[in-house]
Amino acid sequence: MVAIAFFVLGSIIALGLVVIFPLWGLVASGFAMVGAFLNWLLLRCLAEHLRLQKKIAGCEFEGAITGANEETIWACGNCGQMLHSDNRCDSCGAQIISDEI
């Protein structure tokens, strides 16, 4: 919430700079927008870090931890190697038979 509030405040300041100082306001407005974005990004990263620390410690936390979703990796039934093809195993050459008819 604080990150979003700072981003909105930075945007309002950037618009105010353009209105008050037409010539140099564009440059100052650009720096204000970049600063607001970097501040938002830093606060989001800190929030994610705190969530991860709380998860590791076993404490309850609000929000969701971002990251990779659960993925399924198929393995060969003969040799156990990871499959890269839908037709056959690259390691042992076994043919892959699909359950779908």
Tens digit of each residue's pLDDT (9 = 90 or more) over 43-92: 999 999 999 999 889 889 888 888 766 677 788 888 888 888 888 888 88
Distance CA 13, CA 1 (A): 18
Tens digit of each residue's pLDDT (9 = 90 or more) over 4-53: 888 888 888 888 888 888 778 888 888 888 888 999 899 999 999 999 99
Contact in structure between 25 and 13 (CB atoms under 8 Å): no
Q: 23-56: buried (b, 16+ CB within 10 Å) or exposed (e) per residue?
A: eebeebbeebbeebeebbeebeeebeeebeeeee
Residues contacting residue 82 through CB under 8 Å, at least 6 positions apart: 73, 74, 75, 76
